[in-house]
Amino acid sequence: MDNNTQAPLLTSKDVGASAHFTGDVEDIPPINGIHEFFVQFGVESKKLWYLAGPAIFTTVCQYSLGAITQTFAGHVGTLDLAAFSIENSVIAGFSLGIMVGMGSALETLCGQAYGAGQIDMLGIYMQRSWIILFVTGLIMMFLYIFATPILLLIGQTEPISHLAGKMALWMIPQLFAYAANYPIAKFLQAQSKIMVMSYISGIALVFHTFFSWLFMLKLGWGLAGGALVLNSSWWFMVIAQMVYILSGTCGRAWSGFSMSAFSNLWSFVKLSFASAIMLCLETWYFMALILFAGYLKNAEIAVDALSICTNIVGWAVMIAIGFNAAISVRVSNELGAAHPRAAKFSVVVVVVFSFIVGVMLAILLVIFRHQYPALFANSLEVQQAVYALTPLLATCLVINNIQPALSGVAIGAGWQAVIAYINIACYYIFGIPLGLTLGFAANWGVKGIWIGMLTGTVVQTIILVWICYRTNWDKEASMAEKRIKKWSGQKEVAGEQ
């Protein structure tokens, strides 16, 4: 990469607090010996946690909006909990996977452009993503409108399907909040402007908790009150983040709305679609777990117990997604700045921390295994079912803390299409058939379904570790340079994929 495309712009006021992370002109030196390893590990840890800390807080807060609504629904009634769980996991979960996936194309493009000093393109990329995601939202809206017949078609019980379908209609505003929010999030993350996102998410969570209790329980509005508060909380975050961007704090990264956003849209759609497939296959995988539980005997108890477990897994995964966001920024910035060794070493550091955090969460869960089920449901039968799943849940916390971090590496490097194929093989050709075999044919029930699907995640994680180990990071830096030239409108390099 030419020297004039690298660091100088990254030390300007446009970059903000992250300048000292990606502004170094030279790559890290080769590591020889244990002492040098730990020195570089300490340096990279500071860079990673500068990003990961606020990102973890932000993702936990945003996930907790739906999780808290689900928790209050569990105190309204078992049918309400099952209906909201299905809507939140199947309908909203399906849409969320598509929106986050398509928005994640910006993590590759914005991150690598930022690392190379092409700051002006970030706002254009975000606007292109908005156009694509809002059109996608209009298409996805039919899923919400026809949620009841769709749920009945796939075998859910009538009471759950009708109530979940009503809830889905109420949650259409959240769908378009997803479309607006995730491009904004990737735009800010690429510049390491994550603290403002954490402040806004924290404020939203505090008000969301209070008003959910007020409307759902105190005033007795039930799921209708939950829908009102959940929609309002998501749109509050979108509006607050846009006020921050429009105030001029992002410098040259945001220079206003531009007709350039409508150029090269089809190529952007293809990249967004590849990103969506990769992340949707992961999101829908756990959505399928809830669906399969609906086919078991005593489906309401099975769905309630699994929804509580996936709720907890979701909170833990939000921590991992904080690492996902941080490592995608680190890898994309360093590859964009032609620092392959720094990109490679950042992968080592994030895997170590992801494993440590996952083990700590599993230990806490085991320690409080007798207490935590009562926080999510009043039914003793549901609590006992959750308690029986605790060992499996603890194992899941460890595995599912590492896998999203590795997916972040893939996003930062632009490997979305390759990872999509791996997800299809590990999840849908191997994991789901194994889970169904153990759950239904072997009559292991919920445990069998979960064990089979968790095995698919383990296989996928092992493959991702192997890919990261075998990657030629010098080649990836060269690919990043070609990608930046292509998407910034420079002459396309022959052979660019």
Among candidate residues 309, 274, 278, 286, the one with its CA nearest the CA of residue 456: 286
Measure the CA–CA gap between 385 and 339, rounded to whole angstroms.
50
Residues in the chain: 497
- The two three-digit tokens of residue 312, written as one number: 């907890």
Alpha carbon dihedral 327, 178, 240, 56, in 10-degree steps, equals: -30
pLDDT of residue 191: 83
Q: Where are the beta strands (DSSP E) in 36-155?
A: none
Task: Find the helix or strand (DSSP H, E) in which 207 lies.
Answer: helix 195-212
pTM for the structure as a whole: 0.72
pLDDT digits (tens, 9 = 90+) for 217-227: 889 898 899 99
Measure the CA–CA gap between 169 and 432, rounded to whole angstroms.
30
CB 173 within 8 A of CB 181: no
pLDDT of residue 494: 38
CA dihedral sign, ordered 299, 304, 308, 311: positive
Give the distance from CA 166 to its chain's centroid: 26
Q: What is the DSSP letter of 10?
A: G
The b/e string for 264-291 (b: 16+ C-beta within 10 A; e otherwise) is: eeeebbebbbbbbbbbbbbbbbbbbbbb
Measure the CA–CA gap between 84 and 334, rounded to whole angstroms.
42
pLDDT digits (tens, 9 = 90+) for 185-207: 888 888 878 889 999 999 999 99
Q: Classify 29 in phi/psi space as left (phi over 0), alpha (psi -120 to 50) or beta.
A: beta
Cβ atoms within 10 Å of 491's Cβ, excluding its own: 7
pLDDT of residue 26: 66
pLDDT < 50 regions, the chain: 1-24, 491-497
pLDDT digits (tens, 9 = 90+) for 441-477: 888 887 888 888 889 889 988 998 898 888 888 888 7
- The two three-digit tokens of residue 495, written as one number: 């052979």
CA dihedral sign, ordered 241, 245, 250, 252: positive
CB 143 within 8 A of CB 150: yes
Give Dmax over CA atoms of the chain in angstroms.
66
Residue located via tokens 């899941």: 396
Measure the CA–CA gap between 291 and 310, rounded to whole angstroms.
12
pLDDT of residue 4: 35
